[in-house]
Amino acid sequence: MSQVILAQGARAEQFLFLGRCLTPEVAADPELAEAIQAGSIPWQQLLWLAGNHLVTPALAGSLRRKALFDLLPEEIRDYLDSLQTFNRERNQILYRELIHIAQLLNRSGIEPLLLKGANALLPDQYPGAEDRVLGDLDLMVPADKIEAASAALQADGYLQLSLERVLPRDLIRSHHAAPLLHSNLPVTVELHSRMLCNVQDDLWLSAKLLATPITLSGGNATVLVPDPATRLLHNFLHTQIQDLNHALFSLAHRQLLEFVSLRHWQGQQWEWPGLAKRLRPKRHRALAGYLLAAERWYGQTMPSDLRIPAGSMFCFNLTERAQAEHRWRRLLALYRIPRLYLPRLLTLPYRLLTPTWFVLKYQSLRRGEPL
């Protein structure tokens, strides 16, 4: 490895090297130590990959757990240490605000269910959870109480950001209220009425949801925490299906790393045929592709008791090439751009003719929000 990673243009090997640094396994890895000590790793490219996928703080934490951090060049140590510190400070702010929000909602008889990265803020999580980069706080509340919950946060000083879903079908599909931004802190909250945008995917997943109430340390506030299987499957469905990564032959390594970490944290307790039954059959190929990605980049063995649907390996191979080769990324861009933007272009004339759209845009401009 120490010879392959030295090639400046070997993007595929750099991804593999980054995954090897990030893997939850903490056993001694002499080859990894040798590659770092060789002193010719293209750190600029490697750190660009980590930053692009929002895993730089996780990289710092993982190298510390593997006892490799002190082998790094001083400037790389300083860079990783700074980003890890900044991210942990922000996560502490998010956790304190989570306690405050839970207290506000509890007064209205609401116990929010933590979704996605909000769970990583809790104590006693998988190793490295404290280094997860969070975009916002995702909380699910009963659909009939979402307006009351939003009003409670706005009365406490949160500002409601505009939400562009003005078409009737958008309102039906919307699974969360307009985002709420704290007036003084770097905290955005999304109150969800269900876990997923797709109603059918949500019904299949939530049918066996087990939510456990816990009291947050540092405050008399109660939240609900989903069971590990639901967290694992929600991670997959949100990033690969809802965010279209599977359809676009793409991967978000921040999400994949959390998936890998959750699997490793629970050891051998996963019963994959049972987990697959909580997904619509049409999602099984995407799940197999996600597990193949976990095996390829993080060395996590593909479950032997899970059937791999036809086409899974083909889709994964395209994803791998898109990750590693510039020519394949450019080629697949011819597919991705229409897939992403054509539906928006088709609805644009209707939006332009909808007075509400202009009102929302005007309000966004006055508040200085991005369009």
* pLDDT for the residue numbered 38: 87
DSSP 249: T
Top pLDDT among 114 and 357 is at: 114
Helix residue spans in 174-242 (DSSP H): 199-206, 228-236
**What is the bridge-based pairing of β-strands 137-140 and 188-192?**
parallel
The CA distance from 272 to 281, in Å, is 14
Considering Cα of 200, then 295, then 120, then 228, what sign does the dihedral take?
A: positive
Residues 208-242: tens digit of each pLDDT: 999 999 999 776 899 999 999 999 999 999 999 99
> Coil, strand or helix: which one is 311?
coil
Average pLDDT over residues 33-60: 93
Residues 6+ apart with CB under 8 A from 231: 119, 262
pLDDT at position 236 is: 98
State how far the Cα of 192 lies from the Cα of 188, in Å rounded to an integer: 13
High-pLDDT (> 90) share of the chain, %: 66
Residue 2's pLDDT is 44
341 compared with 204, residue with greater pLDDT: 204
pLDDT at position 65: 95
Report how far residue 312's alpha carbon sits from residue 290's, in angstroms, rounded to the nearest whole number. 9
d(CA 290, CA 313): 10
CATH topology of domain 91-199+210-225: Beta Polymerase; domain 2 (3.30.460)
Listed residue (224, 136, 222) closest to 182, CA to CA: 136
The domain locations on the chain are: 91-199+210-225, 327-367
Mean local confidence (pLDDT), 70-77: 95
Q: pLDDT tens for residues 116-147?
A: 999 999 999 999 999 999 999 999 999 999 99
Q: How far is it, in rounded angstroms, from Cα 297 to Cα 300?
A: 8
Mean pLDDT value across residues 326-339: 75
Task: Report pLDDT digits (tens) over 194-206.
Answer: 999 999 999 999 9
Dist. CA 321–CA 325, nearest whole Å = 6
Residue in the structure block whose two tokens are 């770097």: 186
**91-114: burial string, b at 16+ Cβ within 10 Å, e else:** beebbbbbbbbbebbbeeebbbbb
- C-beta of residue 122 within 8 angstroms of C-beta of residue 114: yes
What is the overall mean pLDDT for the chain? 87
Query: How far apart are the C-alpha atoms of 169 and 358, rounded to whole Å?
Result: 18
What tokens does 333 get? 């861009």
Q: Is the pLDDT of residue 369 over 50?
A: no
Separation CA 328–CA 231 (nearest Å): 32
Work out the pLDDT band at 354, boundaries 50, 70, 90: low
Q: Which residues pair with 207 in a beta bridge?
A: none
pLDDT at 181 over 70: yes
What confidence score (pLDDT) does residue 1 get? Answer: 45
What secondary structure does DSSP assign to 42-104, as a single string? -HHHHHHHHHHTT-HHHHHHHHHHTT-GGGS-HHHHHHHHHHHHHHHHHHHHHHHHHHHHHHH
Confidence check: pLDDT of 169 > 70? no
Round to whole Å and give the CA distance between 243 and 195: 13
The C-alpha atoms of residue 125 and residue 34 are separated, in whole angstroms, by 31
pLDDT value, residue 358: 53
- How confident is the model over 11-24, as pLDDT tens digits? 888 999 999 999 99
Q: How far apart are CA 183 and CA 239, in angstroms?
A: 29
**In this model, does residue 244 exceed pLDDT 50?**
yes
> If you count them, how many residues does the chain have?
371
Q: Is 339's pLDDT higher than 80?
A: no
Please state the rounded mean pLDDT for residues 63-76. Answer: 95
Mean pLDDT in residue range 187-198 = 93
User: What pLDDT, on a 0 to 100 scale, did the predictor assign at position 264?
Assistant: 95
